Amino acid sequence: MKARRYIVRGRVQGVGFRWFVQQSADSLGVKGYTRNLDDGSVEVYALGSAEQLSDLSGLLRKGPRMADVRGVDEEEAAVERVSGFRITH
């Protein structure tokens, strides 16, 4: 298992982005969480195989229909104990 942290910038709050991430992660079998950040971006912590994380990364760069993703910062992260995928505040 590998862990990645993503910061998604653009019009990504108020457009269902976190719900989109949760649904995408669930369909890929990825564990972790997503939350809005104070600067208007969305953080995603994801735990999965290299292939699962690559697939999720591609989906984050597209986002839901109403989103306008302007950039995604991606970095390795420490493996945390998580179960399922959740939206946090």
Q: Does 18 participate in catalysis according to the annotation? A: yes
8 Å CB contact between 3 and 47: yes
Active-site choice (18, 35, 65, 86): 18
Cα separation, 65 vs 63, in Å, equals 7
Active-site choice (5, 9, 11, 36): 36
Cα separation, 86 vs 89, in Å, equals 10
Q: Any idea which residues carry the catalytic annotation?
A: 18, 36
